[in-house]
Amino acid sequence: MAGALPAVTLPSVVAELLSEMAAAVQEGARIPDEHLLSLKFVFGSSAIQALDLVDRQSITLISSPSGRRVYQVLGSSGKTYTCLASCHYCSCPAFAFSVLRKSDSLLCKHLLAVYLSQVMRTCQQLSVSDKQLTDILLTEKKEEA
Amino acid sequence: MAEVLRRVLSPSSAAGPEEENTAEAGPPLLLLCGPGSGKTALLFAAALETAGEGRGPVLFLTRRPLQSLPRGTGAALDHLRLQKIRFQYPRSTRELLHLLCSAHEARGPAPSLLLLDGLEEYLAEDPGLQEAAYLAALLLDTADHFSHRVGPGGGCGLIVALQTQEEGDSGDALQLSVLQRYFPAQCWLQPDAPGPGQHRLRASLEPGGLGPRAEWCVAFRPDGEMTVTPWPAQAGDPSSDKGSSSGGQR
């Protein structure tokens, strides 16, 4: 189910915006400017940075034979961050600070990039073994600033 | 797993609209309480209830083995149900993280319910906000993976019990609000004025906008037996409180 979003954690206006964008992509159209403007309105500068990450093909969906999946995003600094596929979590410091501590932002740019790449279907795909996926999930916690 | 808890707490109202929801896992639920309450008994009751549904096994994670199996309400220690509850005892946060991160490696039928007792003990080892969020997110991710393995028409529920401090500081409040982001449904257990030889709790279930709020009185007798009755709607009407025998003193 491409583009399925965890409805429980995204405010409905954001979920709606993303699904409208997905519909546009499905029809083969480019994303209307008004959607991009709405994105910028809701997410501020993160929107531009996230779109940039998508353009650069920085998001990879990693899956294993078990069916479990996780995302990795190559940040602009060259560091790789891990984002969970089922709920909002990113190992980057901005997530810990702006989203969790300050509640300033809904998403960090990496999580937003993951959503956008789902909508625009521009995710890289990588298959790993079950054991390798365990290691990826275990080490994500260790990302330091 | 608000629906399972609701069914545990209102067995008499199990018929009707809730029948259609028996296979749905419902949102992840955070069970919050102070020290010494009956959260373990409630978790165990939820485990028994789900084990009796004829779906997958129940995975019960707790730091220490239960000293005695809590006595439940109604259909209780049926051996067939007990056999479907798998206990695991991660002794540290590291072990718990490893268990959750490697959950997809395990073969065999996927659990239909994942329970964790004593989240506060694991958080105490590593009290940072990002660590707390990571643990909560991994719990959700693990339950989500099990749900995918179970397939359509089923799903894996998630109930996590957390003991909160009465005199918490702002750090605790922030940690709790981070956890609440990941658990839209919450059930608060508060001690009620204890009667002689009786331990009572008020259970308030907030299904996170996906259903009505509901309250129950959960009483534990000295022999450990747990009884559940709906909380009286009006405080001034003790005669409507069917189960509790210790008068309407509030």
Whether B201 contacts B38, CB under 8 Å: yes
The whole-model pTM stands at: 0.85
Residue entry with tokens 């009755």: B229
pLDDT band at B12 (very low <50, low <70, confident <90, very high): very low
Query: So what's the pLDDT on residue B102?
Result: 96
pLDDT, position B18? 38
Q: Which residue has the higher pLDDT, B152 or A131?
A: A131
Q: Of A87, A88, A134, which has the smallest distance from its Cβ to B105's Cβ?
A: A134
Q: How far apart are alpha carbons B225 and A46 in whole angstroms? A: 54
Residue A20 Cα, gap to closest chain B Cα (Å):
24
Q: What are the backbone dihedrals phi and psi of residue B158, each rounded to the nearest 5 degrees, phi first?
A: -140, 125
Instruction: Check CB contact of A3 with chain B, cutoff 8 Å.
Output: no
- Residue A127, chain B, CB below 8 Å: the answer is no
Q: What average pLDDT does the segment B165-171 reach?
A: 71
Within 10 angstroms of residue A57's Cβ, the number of other Cβ atoms is: 12
Q: Which of B93, B125, B126, B140 to mutate to test the interface with A (most CBs of A within 10 A)?
A: B140
B100 vs B165: which has the higher pLDDT: B100
ipTM: 0.87
> Which residue positions in chain A have pLDDT lower than 50?
1-8, 143-145
**What's the rounded Cα separation, in Å, for the pair B101 and B111?**
15
Measured between CA atoms, the residue of chain B closest to residue A142 is B131
Closest CA to B176 of B243, B242, B213, B123: B123
* Cα–Cα distance for residue pair B192/A6, rounded to 1 Å: 37
Residue from A62, A64, A87 to probe the interface with B (highest B Cβ count within 10 Å) = A87
Token pair for A144: 């330091």
Q: Give the tens place of pLDDT for each residue, B37-46.
A: 778 888 888 8
pLDDT tier, B51 (very low <50, low <70, confident <90, very high otherwise): confident
Confidence of residue B76 (pLDDT cuts 50, 70, 90): low
Quick check: B48 contacting A, CB < 8 Å? no
| Confidence check: pLDDT of B240 > 70 | no
Helix axes B170-182, B129-150, angle to 10 degrees: 20
Q: Which residue has the higher pLDDT, B200 or B133?
A: B133
Rank A29-38, B4-13, B21-30 by mean pLDDT and report only the highest.
Answer: A29-38
Q: Which residues contact B42 (CB under 8 A, 6 or more apart)?
A: B5, B8, B31, B161, B189, B203, B218, B226
CB B221 within 8 A of CB B227: yes
B104, B174, B181: residue with CB nearest A68: B104
Put simply, whether B191 touches A (Cβ < 8 Å) is no
